[in-house]
Amino acid sequence: MALCLLVVYLICYFSLWKGISTSGKVVWFTALFPYVVLLILFIRGITLPGSADGIRYYLSPNFDAIYDAEVWVDAATQVFFSLGPGFGVLLAYASYNKYHNNVYKDAILTSFINSATSFVAGFVIFSVLGYMAH
Protein backbone atom coordinates (compact mmCIF):
# COMPACT_ATOMS: atom_id res chain seq x y z
CA MET A 1 0.00 0.00 0.00
CA ALA A 2 2.84 2.38 0.81
CA LEU A 3 4.47 1.60 -2.54
CA CYS A 4 1.26 2.48 -4.39
CA LEU A 5 1.04 5.74 -2.46
CA LEU A 6 4.64 6.53 -3.37
CA VAL A 7 3.88 5.89 -7.05
CA VAL A 8 0.89 8.24 -6.90
CA TYR A 9 2.99 10.94 -5.22
CA LEU A 10 5.67 10.57 -7.89
CA ILE A 11 3.11 10.79 -10.68
CA CYS A 12 1.63 13.94 -9.13
CA TYR A 13 5.08 15.45 -8.67
CA PHE A 14 6.21 14.85 -12.24
CA SER A 15 2.84 16.00 -13.57
CA LEU A 16 3.22 19.39 -11.88
CA TRP A 17 7.00 19.63 -11.98
CA LYS A 18 7.31 22.48 -14.49
CA GLY A 19 4.14 24.31 -13.58
CA ILE A 20 0.65 24.50 -14.95
CA SER A 21 1.71 24.69 -18.60
CA THR A 22 2.99 21.11 -18.68
CA SER A 23 0.10 19.78 -16.63
CA GLY A 24 -2.19 20.59 -19.58
CA LYS A 25 -0.62 17.70 -21.45
CA VAL A 26 -1.19 15.39 -18.50
CA VAL A 27 -4.85 16.40 -18.36
CA TRP A 28 -5.42 15.02 -21.87
CA PHE A 29 -4.44 11.58 -20.61
CA THR A 30 -6.11 11.75 -17.21
CA ALA A 31 -9.36 13.10 -18.68
CA LEU A 32 -9.66 10.65 -21.57
CA PHE A 33 -8.26 7.44 -20.07
CA PRO A 34 -11.28 6.80 -17.78
CA TYR A 35 -13.52 6.91 -20.86
CA VAL A 36 -11.32 4.35 -22.59
CA VAL A 37 -11.57 2.09 -19.54
CA LEU A 38 -15.35 2.66 -19.39
CA LEU A 39 -15.66 1.70 -23.06
CA ILE A 40 -13.60 -1.47 -22.52
CA LEU A 41 -15.72 -2.43 -19.50
CA PHE A 42 -18.89 -1.71 -21.48
CA ILE A 43 -17.81 -3.94 -24.36
CA ARG A 44 -16.82 -6.68 -21.94
CA GLY A 45 -20.05 -6.30 -19.97
CA ILE A 46 -22.40 -6.61 -22.94
CA THR A 47 -20.65 -9.77 -24.13
CA LEU A 48 -21.44 -11.57 -20.87
CA PRO A 49 -24.39 -13.98 -20.78
CA GLY A 50 -27.40 -12.43 -19.08
CA SER A 51 -26.23 -8.87 -19.58
CA ALA A 52 -29.33 -8.06 -21.64
CA ASP A 53 -31.50 -8.80 -18.60
CA GLY A 54 -29.53 -6.31 -16.53
CA ILE A 55 -29.69 -3.64 -19.22
CA ARG A 56 -33.42 -4.25 -19.68
CA TYR A 57 -33.90 -3.75 -15.93
CA TYR A 58 -31.78 -0.58 -16.08
CA LEU A 59 -33.92 0.90 -18.84
CA SER A 60 -37.31 0.00 -17.36
CA PRO A 61 -38.30 2.86 -15.04
CA ASN A 62 -40.34 2.50 -11.88
CA PHE A 63 -42.65 5.52 -12.00
CA ASP A 64 -44.00 4.84 -8.51
CA ALA A 65 -40.59 5.72 -7.08
CA ILE A 66 -40.92 9.32 -8.32
CA TYR A 67 -43.22 10.08 -5.40
CA ASP A 68 -40.72 8.78 -2.85
CA ALA A 69 -38.73 11.59 -1.19
CA GLU A 70 -35.78 9.30 -0.48
CA VAL A 71 -35.24 8.81 -4.22
CA TRP A 72 -34.92 12.58 -4.70
CA VAL A 73 -32.52 12.88 -1.77
CA ASP A 74 -30.38 10.09 -3.23
CA ALA A 75 -30.45 11.77 -6.66
CA ALA A 76 -29.38 15.11 -5.20
CA THR A 77 -26.60 13.40 -3.25
CA GLN A 78 -25.41 11.71 -6.44
CA VAL A 79 -25.32 15.04 -8.28
CA PHE A 80 -23.32 16.74 -5.52
CA PHE A 81 -20.79 13.93 -5.33
CA SER A 82 -20.58 13.57 -9.09
CA LEU A 83 -20.11 17.24 -9.96
CA GLY A 84 -18.31 18.08 -6.74
CA PRO A 85 -19.33 21.75 -6.52
CA GLY A 86 -18.25 22.11 -2.90
CA PHE A 87 -14.89 20.39 -3.17
CA GLY A 88 -13.06 23.38 -4.66
CA VAL A 89 -11.96 21.64 -7.85
CA LEU A 90 -14.28 23.70 -10.03
CA LEU A 91 -13.06 26.89 -8.39
CA ALA A 92 -9.45 25.92 -9.02
CA TYR A 93 -10.19 25.17 -12.68
CA ALA A 94 -12.13 28.41 -13.04
CA SER A 95 -9.17 30.44 -11.84
CA TYR A 96 -7.34 29.60 -15.08
CA ASN A 97 -10.19 30.80 -17.34
CA LYS A 98 -10.06 34.01 -19.35
CA TYR A 99 -11.99 36.94 -17.90
CA HIS A 100 -14.68 36.86 -20.60
CA ASN A 101 -15.06 33.09 -20.71
CA ASN A 102 -18.56 31.78 -21.44
CA VAL A 103 -19.25 30.17 -18.07
CA TYR A 104 -22.82 29.27 -18.99
CA LYS A 105 -21.63 27.14 -21.88
CA ASP A 106 -19.02 25.51 -19.63
CA ALA A 107 -21.63 24.75 -16.96
CA ILE A 108 -24.04 23.19 -19.46
CA LEU A 109 -21.26 21.20 -21.13
CA THR A 110 -19.90 19.95 -17.80
CA SER A 111 -23.36 18.91 -16.62
CA PHE A 112 -24.14 17.16 -19.92
CA ILE A 113 -20.85 15.24 -19.99
CA ASN A 114 -21.32 14.25 -16.35
CA SER A 115 -24.86 13.01 -17.00
CA ALA A 116 -23.83 11.11 -20.12
CA THR A 117 -20.92 9.49 -18.30
CA SER A 118 -23.19 8.41 -15.45
CA PHE A 119 -25.72 7.02 -17.93
CA VAL A 120 -23.07 4.97 -19.77
CA ALA A 121 -21.61 3.81 -16.45
CA GLY A 122 -25.10 2.55 -15.57
CA PHE A 123 -25.00 0.34 -18.67
CA VAL A 124 -21.65 -1.06 -17.56
CA ILE A 125 -22.83 -1.75 -14.02
CA PHE A 126 -26.18 -3.26 -14.94
CA SER A 127 -24.73 -5.46 -17.67
CA VAL A 128 -22.46 -7.03 -15.06
CA LEU A 129 -25.34 -7.25 -12.57
CA GLY A 130 -27.40 -9.04 -15.23
CA TYR A 131 -24.55 -11.49 -15.68
CA MET A 132 -24.30 -12.05 -11.93
CA ALA A 133 -28.06 -12.66 -11.70
CA HIS A 134 -27.99 -15.05 -14.67
Separation between Cα atoms, residue 40 and residue 49, nearest integer Å: 17
Amino acid at 26: V
Residue 114 annotated in ligand binding: yes
3-state SS record for 71-121: HHHHHHHHHHHHHCCCCCHHHHHHCCCCCCCCHHHHHHHHHHHHHHHHHHH
Which has the closest alpha carbon to 78: 115, 41, 108, 52?
A: 115
Residue 102 annotated in ligand binding: no
Please report the DSSP string for 24-67 in residue order. Answer: HHHHHHHHHHHHHHHHHHHHHHHTSTTHHHHHHHHHS--GGGGG
Binding residues for Na(+): 82, 114
Binding residues: 82, 114
